Amino acid sequence: MTNSPVHRRTVLGGAAAVAAGWALAGCGDSGDGDGDAPRERAKGQRIQLTFWSWVPGIDKPVDLWNRRHPEVQVKVEKVSAVNGAQYAKMHAAVKAGNPPDLGQIEFPVLPGFLLDDGLLDLAPLGVARHKDKFTGWQWQQAVFGRGVYAVPQASGPMGLFVRQDLFDAWEVATPRTWDEYEDAAKAVRRKGAWIETFAPTNGNRLAGLAWQAGARWYATHGDTWIVHIDDEPTRKVADYWESLVRRKLVKTIPDRQNAWYKDVQTGAIPAWLGASWGDALLAGNAPGTKGKWRAAPLPQWKAGAQDFANWGGSTTAVFAKARYPRDALDFAVWLNTAPESIALLIDGGYGFPSAKKGWDTTDLDVDKDFFGGQAYSRVFADAGAHVDTSWRWGPGVDTLYQRLGDAFTDALADGSSFRSVLATVQRQTLDDLRGKGLKAESGG
Amino acid sequence: MPSGPEQAGRKRARGAGGSRPRRARRTRTRDARAAAGFVLPFLALFCLCFLAPLGYALHQSLHRTERTGPLGLGREHETFAGLANYAHALADDRFLAGFGRVLLFGAVQIPLMIVLATALALLLESASARGVAFFRTAFFLPYGVPGVIASILWGFLYVPGISPLVKIADSLGWHLDFLSRGTVLWSLANIVTWQFTGYNMLVLIAQLKSVPGELYEAARIDGASAWQVARHIKIPLIRPALQLTGVFSIIGTLQLFAEPMVLRPLASSVDSGYTPNLHAYSEAFVGNNPQVAAAEAVLLALVACALSFGFLRLAGGHAGERR
């Protein structure tokens, strides 16, 4: 161990580790042996499926399944969700030929796994008969061509969380439009606080806000991907935030990090444009502010409009190499539709159920006390019902977020415009897709 | 391995035809077998953990994935790409900027750290030093803290709103920002220096210990001051250790990864390609472009190689002149 810092750092060093990992992985990748071929479970045969997930409290519904299905035991392996580590691990496992049977995969990331041939098309297994159990637009997010590649689990309709006590004390009304939001930002700033942060590296939220404004970043035409990040709606969103940033009406620190949590705890940041799953996040990280928060609908571009957006949400996908695909699918459907499973998932704080029934059979107001008794989930249920359904994700969304983050950071530092960020990222995304051997064109 | 002397021995054995050389030959084969027994495990590990990944990385870097079918949802297959991945990597401004950053980092941090380590080593090894064992351990301790943990630890001291340092400075009317574009590189340098100064100090102390005491006595009899002993005897004699720590530090600097990786979520000033290693990681695991990542890794290895040997040649050349 005292031998050298070189060695230890080599192990930590990404590139070297990457090379080594794949080299070893190469050994296991020698052809599709019989061991990997999908099998039908014989009657009475006991099998075990592995499931990689990071959702808090996922073990509880899985335990319930295991008690009820002694023949199909599911083993949860928790994976880290920090900085997309879970997907790095899954991609590497797919490449190495030893992925788990099931995995927790967010909607935006699904296309990336399709490029790897990583996911099993569930359509031949008859997944279509479950279609009506799920919210339409979420089901659609897992449909590519004729295939269905995942079972939807949860979504994240967006809304605005505010510290009602502070807003009341400062006589700031909860903003209903983006114009009002700007006024609120000014009013809050006069009180010495900052209404929010524009986190330059949070591509997820920006996508949600662009989605609300009417942007459609990805589309397909024949076998070509159409990329349209630098479009009018997204420019409108970019201009809006640039103006807030340049006038110093919002902070630019990263969100959901220590400094941000601290600001949220102390009231230095009294609002958050978040998503439905943000209830657990706020309640867990700012317990001292219990009872003082309220949820409100996302501000609108036009007063009285009903345009909403989504941030997050994930699926239970079956990997292409799953040995017992039928059982894996049965489990995935049960996990996300059985009322008792949904109840346990909601307790764990996993988001907003994709199953239609989940919205009324279960009490979604888990952290009611934190929101002063408000039936806050109705705000999100309403938003979820109005999310524009034509939004599609394309391959390489993680890279897109990273590129947006890098370019916004550059823009904040050197003062170039947010519009130029969009133009840059549009160009880079086309290059990225073409670099992956795909056909891609700019939207007109 | 059949070498010259063994062949000669064989010839002699044939010529004499006696039993003594034959026994000698048997002994020799036994020796060779024993040697092989010792060498093989090393060779096997060397091949498995060093040559194989290297070869695989090279192979990867020369290939690309092609996708067929509508929207790329059909099968994918690998084709030879020549140097396209290298060209792609070298055309990436962010990747090159990462190299520039790391070189700047190294040019400042390495000399600083080695001077500090040398000073500490000399102080602890001076005749009048007290509590040597305690201080040696104390200075070495940070090396025992894994880089990731060290970065998290320092991260808490850097982040405004949490950091006591920032708070104290603030109350003095001094606005510190450890994570801004201009400062974050030096905040990283601080973490690395904190971690590795003690380690380098220990290497230098080990070499100092091997300097015969008579040299110091002779110098003292000649009337040399402590400073002169350090300057003219100790430092020249620990030159090999200084070279070693220098090479380690150069390689370590080029491989800078854990520290920026951990600080990245805290500071948006650390972008996805902040260091070449981080860039390769992002290509591999975020962009899922293993071949480009492999090309970047190979380029990184080449630069590390060139710089290390360049440094050794430079440092070694000086030593030769002096002699």
Tell me, letter by letter, the H, E, C secondary structure of A111-131: HHHHHCCCECCCHHHCHHHHH
| Identity of the amino acid at B189 | A
Torsion of CA B256, B262, B264, B270, to 10 degrees: -20
Query: Both A107 and A225 in a single domain?
Result: no
Nearest residue in B to A428, CA atom: B92
* Residue A370, in any domain of the structure: no
* Residue A348, in any domain of the structure: yes
Distance from CA of B193 to the nearest CA of A (A): 12
| Predicted local confidence at residue A202, as pLDDT | 94
B-contacting residues in A 242-281 (Cβ below 8 Å): 252-254, 257-259, 262-263, 268
* Residue A163, in any domain of the structure: yes
Q: pLDDT tens-digit profile of B115-154?
A: 999 999 999 988 778 889 999 999 999 999 999 999 999 9
**In terms of residues, how long is chain B?**
323
8 Å CB contact of A15 and B296:
yes
Please answer whether residues B248 and A6 qualify as being in contact, where contact means their C-beta atoms are separated by less than 8 angstroms: yes
Label the pairing between strands A143-144 and A102-106.
unpaired
| Predicted local confidence at residue A348, as pLDDT | 78
Contact of A97 with chain B, judged by CB distance below 8 Å, is answered with no
User: Looking at residues B93-107, what average pLDDT do you find?
Assistant: 96
| Predicted local confidence at residue B70, as pLDDT | 63
8 Å CB contact of B148 and A12:
yes
Torsion of CA A279, A280, A282, A284, to 10 degrees: 160
* Residue A374, in any domain of the structure: no
Torsion of CA A419, A424, A429, A432, to 10 degrees: -170
Q: Which helix (H) or strand (E) holds B63?
A: strand B63-67
| Residue B213 Cα to chain centre, angstroms | 32
Which of A1, A2, A3, A6 to probe the B interface (max B CBs under 10 A)?
A6
Taking CB atoms and an 8 Å cutoff, what residues of chain A touch B202?
A: 2
Q: pLDDT tens-digit profile of A235-280?
A: 999 999 999 999 999 999 999 998 999 999 999 999 999 999 899 8
Q: In terms of Cα–Cα distance, which of A256, A262, A285 is closest to B160?
A: A262
Q: pLDDT tens-digit profile of A380-406?
A: 999 998 998 889 899 889 899 999 999
Query: Both A217 and A152 in a single domain?
Result: no
Label the pairing between strands A72-78 and A47-53.
parallel
Within 10 Å of residue A87's Cβ, how many Cβ atoms? 21
8 Å CB contact of B53 and A223:
no
Pair of tokens at residue B252 = 């370590």
Of A9, A144, A199, the CB nearest to B73: A144
| Number of domains making up chain A | 2
Query: Both A291 and A341 in a single domain?
Result: no
pLDDT above 80 (res A343): yes
8 Å CB contact of A405 and B268:
yes
8 Å CB contact of A413 and B280:
no
Label the pairing between strands A439-442 and A224-227.
parallel
Distance from CA of A53 to the nearest CA of B (A): 18
Q: Is the dihedral angle over the CA atoms B145, B146, B147, B152 positive or is it negative?
A: negative
* Residue A369, in any domain of the structure: no
Give the DSSP per-residue string, A68-80: H-TTEEEEEEE--
8 Å CB contact of A115 and B72:
yes
Taking CB atoms and an 8 Å cutoff, what residues of chain B touch A23?
A: 52-53, 55-57
Please answer whether residues A277 and A350 qualify as being in contact, where contact means their C-beta atoms are separated by less than 8 angstroms: yes
CA distance A298 to A274: 9
Categorize the per-residue pLDDT at B5 as very low, low, confident or very high, splitting at 50, 70 and 90: very low
Query: Both A327 and A304 in a single domain?
Result: no
Categorize the per-residue pLDDT at A10 as very low, low, confident or very high, splitting at 50, 70 and 90: very low
* Residue A367, in any domain of the structure: no
pLDDT above 70 (res A19): no
Which of B109, B271, B311 to probe the A interface (max A CBs under 10 A)?
B271
* Residue A227, in any domain of the structure: yes
Contact of A221 with chain B, judged by CB distance below 8 Å, is answered with no
8 Å CB contact of A258 and B159:
yes
Q: In terms of Cα–Cα distance, which of B39, B271, B293, B219 is closest to A407?
A: B271
CA distance B260 to A146: 43
pLDDT above 70 (res B179): yes
The CATH code of the domain that includes A399 is 3.40.190.10
- Backbone torsions φ then ψ of A273, nearest 5 degrees: -80, 95
Nearest residue in B to A226, CA atom: B71
Label the pairing between strands A352-353 and B63-67.
unpaired
| Predicted local confidence at residue B317, as pLDDT | 55
Please answer whether residues A199 and A334 qualify as being in contact, where contact means their C-beta atoms are separated by less than 8 angstroms: no
Q: In terms of Cα–Cα distance, which of A61, A15, A49, A38 is closest to A336?
A: A61
Within 10 Å of residue A256's Cβ, how many Cβ atoms? 17
The residue assigned the tokens 């064109």 is A441
Label the pairing between strands A151-163 and A147-148.
unpaired
Query: Both A139 and A257 in a single domain?
Result: no
* Residue A366, in any domain of the structure: no
| Predicted local confidence at residue A361, as pLDDT | 67
Categorize the per-residue pLDDT at B323 as very low, low, confident or very high, splitting at 50, 70 and 90: very low
Nearest residue in A to B52, CA atom: A23
User: Looking at residues A290-295, what average pLDDT do you find?
Assistant: 97
CA distance B269 to B101: 13
pLDDT above 50 (res B4): no
The residue assigned the tokens 């979520």 is B265
Taking CB atoms and an 8 Å cutoff, what residues of chain B touch A395?
A: 72
CA distance A269 to B306: 50
Task: Encode A54-70: b = buried (16+ Cβ within 10 Å), e = exposed.
Answer: ebbebbbbbebbbeeee
8 Å CB contact of B293 and A92:
no
Taking CB atoms and an 8 Å cutoff, what residues of chain A touch B159?
A: 257-259
Within 10 Å of residue A189's Cβ, how many Cβ atoms? 15
Angle (deg, nearest 10), helices B239-254 and A5-12: 0
| Long-range own/partner contacts, residues B315-322 (CB < 8 A, 24 or more apart) | B315/B239, B315/B242, B315/B243, B315/B246, B316/B243, B319/B239, B322/B236
- Of the listed ranges A20-34, A108-122, A244-258, B10-24, the least confidently predicted one is A20-34
SS3 B91: coil
Contact of A145 with chain B, judged by CB distance below 8 Å, is answered with yes
Query: Both A278 and A201 in a single domain?
Result: yes
Within 10 Å of residue B75's Cβ, how many Cβ atoms? 10
Contact of A27 with chain B, judged by CB distance below 8 Å, is answered with no
CA distance A320 to A218: 25
8 Å CB contact of A409 and B162:
no
Measured between alpha carbons, how far apart are the two ends of chain A, in Å? 58
Residue A268 DSSP label: S
Categorize the per-residue pLDDT at B61 as very low, low, confident or very high, splitting at 50, 70 and 90: very high
Q: Which residue would you say has higher pLDDT here, A349 or B43?
A: B43
Distance from CA of A253 to the nearest CA of B (A): 8
Contact of A22 with chain B, judged by CB distance below 8 Å, is answered with yes
Q: pLDDT tens-digit profile of A56-98?
A: 889 999 999 999 999 999 999 999 887 778 998 999 899 889 9
B-contacting residues in A 367-396 (Cβ below 8 Å): 395-396
Taking CB atoms and an 8 Å cutoff, what residues of chain B touch A435?
A: 88, 289, 292
Domain span including residue A167: 158-310+391-442
Residue B51 DSSP label: I
* Rounded alpha-carbon distances, angstroms, from residue A430 to A107, A395, A434, B96: 21, 11, 6, 21
Query: Both A114 and A171 in a single domain?
Result: no
| Predicted local confidence at residue A37, as pLDDT | 57
Query: Both A201 and A347 in a single domain?
Result: no
Mean predicted lDDT score pLDDT of chain A: 88
Q: In terms of Cα–Cα distance, which of A122, A89, A103, A58 is closest to A347?
A: A58
Query: Both A172 and A257 in a single domain?
Result: yes
| Predicted local confidence at residue B17, as pLDDT | 45
Q: Give the count of Cβ contacts less than 8 A between chain A and B.
A: 185
Of B52, B57, B255, the CB nearest to A10: B255
Taking CB atoms and an 8 Å cutoff, what residues of chain A touch B65?
A: 436-437
Query: Both A89 and A226 in a single domain?
Result: no
Query: Both A180 and A247 in a single domain?
Result: yes
Query: Both A151 and A162 in a single domain?
Result: no
Pair of tokens at residue A208 = 């949600």
